[in-house]
Amino acid sequence: MEFLLGVTDWNLVSEIGLPPDGTWCFVVFGDDERGYSWSIGGYSTETGNFWGNMGYGGMVLEGKSCVAWKSWDDVDFFAQKKEAAQDA
């Protein structure tokens, strides 16, 4: 099996702001100079941070470092047989 995530039409913070409270997201952070990376987390309006627990005691990403986000509910997930993935 091949599993694929389709994340398009990111919500740019510069255009629409940060997500509503409690939204679980894919989060893009960084800049042109240092490069970009991504993580996952739930957004808290109370703290202004994204929170995620990945088994190492969690992580905190300051909302001000977020460049773009996409709610988990808006991400496409695909599962297909490996042969079909290679032909695509």
75 Cβ contact partners less than 8 Å away, ≥ 6 residues apart: 5, 6, 7, 26
Task: Report the share of the chain in percent with pLDDT over 90.
Answer: 58
The count of other CB atoms within 10 Å of the CB of residue 64 is 10
pTM of the model: 0.79
- Tell me the one-letter amino acid at 52: G
The tens digit of pLDDT for each residue in 54-67 reads 667 778 889 999 99
pLDDT band at 81 (very low <50, low <70, confident <90, very high): confident
- Assigned token pair, 44: 């808290």
Total domains present in the chain: 1
Range of 6's domain? Answer: 2-87
For the four alpha carbons of 18, 22, 26 and 27, in that order, the dihedral sign comes to positive
